[in-house]
Amino acid sequence: MEVYEAIRRRVAVREFKPEPVPEPIVRKILLAARWAPSQRNRQPWRLVVVQDKDTLAKIGALASTGGFIAQAPLAIAVVMDTTRMVQFDAARAIENMILTAWAEGVGTCYVGGIDRDAVKELLGVPEEMELITVMPFGFPTDDALAGGKRRKPLEEIAFRERFGQPYV
């Protein structure tokens, strides 16, 4: 799938078919994170691939806005060294993973509401590291693909030469 097409069409997916994500796709998603840029090329990310049903159910129960993780066939926990640009670097790797998954027909979404300390303990993440999120992955149900994307018009967000001067 072409880059812009993936960016344009991708939606957040919270409902997954039960079938597993094939291993070559899992690997490609991990590699997409690996190839992300990071501050001074520190590559501060670690990715914990979870496919065990019991662990997925436990993570789902720990995620106030991500109960659907329990129904996903796969989740990837994104863990970071606590560098200065931890959120920024994590987001770049995450965006790469989202787009690569989408190009393979696999949906995911960012989960914000999650008991990070409890998930860290569950997955054995060292205390000094930061758990950013746990992202569920799976093939979207038809319902999950029904929604569109709403965005502000370009003229509200893009300016020419100076802030406030319309781009369009």
105 binds a copy of itself, rule: CB under 8 A: no
Token pair 């989408």 in the structure block, residue: 102
Q: Which residue from 6, 57, 61, 118 is in contact with a copy of itself, where contact means CB under 8 A?
A: 6
57 binds a copy of itself, rule: CB under 8 A: no
79 binds a copy of itself, rule: CB under 8 A: yes
Q: Which residue from 14, 16, 21, 50 is in contact with a copy of itself, where contact means CB under 8 A?
A: 50
- Number of neighbouring beta carbons within 10 Å of residue 31: 12
Minimum CB separation of residue 143 from a copy of itself in Å reads 19
Asked if residues 29 and 100 have their Cβ atoms less than 8 Å apart, the reply is: yes
Paired strand residues for 77:
48, 134
- Build a one-symbol-per-residue string for 147-166: x at contacts with a copy of itself by CB under 8 A, - elsewhere: --xxxx-x--xxxxxxxx--
d(CA 26, CA 85): 26
- Residue closer to a copy of itself by CB (options 82, 163) is 163
User: Considering only CA atoms, which of 8, 15, 14, 11 is closest in space to residue 148?
Assistant: 11
d(CA 103, CA 43): 24
Asked if residues 168 and 154 have their Cβ atoms less than 8 Å apart, the reply is: yes
- Build a one-symbol-per-residue string for 108-127: x at contacts with a copy of itself by CB under 8 A, - elsewhere: -xx-x----------xxxx-
Identify the helix (H) or strand (E) that includes residue 68: none
Q: Which residues contact a copy of itself by CB under 8 A?
A: 1-4, 6-8, 10, 12, 27-28, 30-37, 39, 41, 43, 45-52, 55, 79, 85, 87-92, 94-96, 98-100, 102-103, 109-110, 112, 123-126, 149-152, 154, 157-164, 167
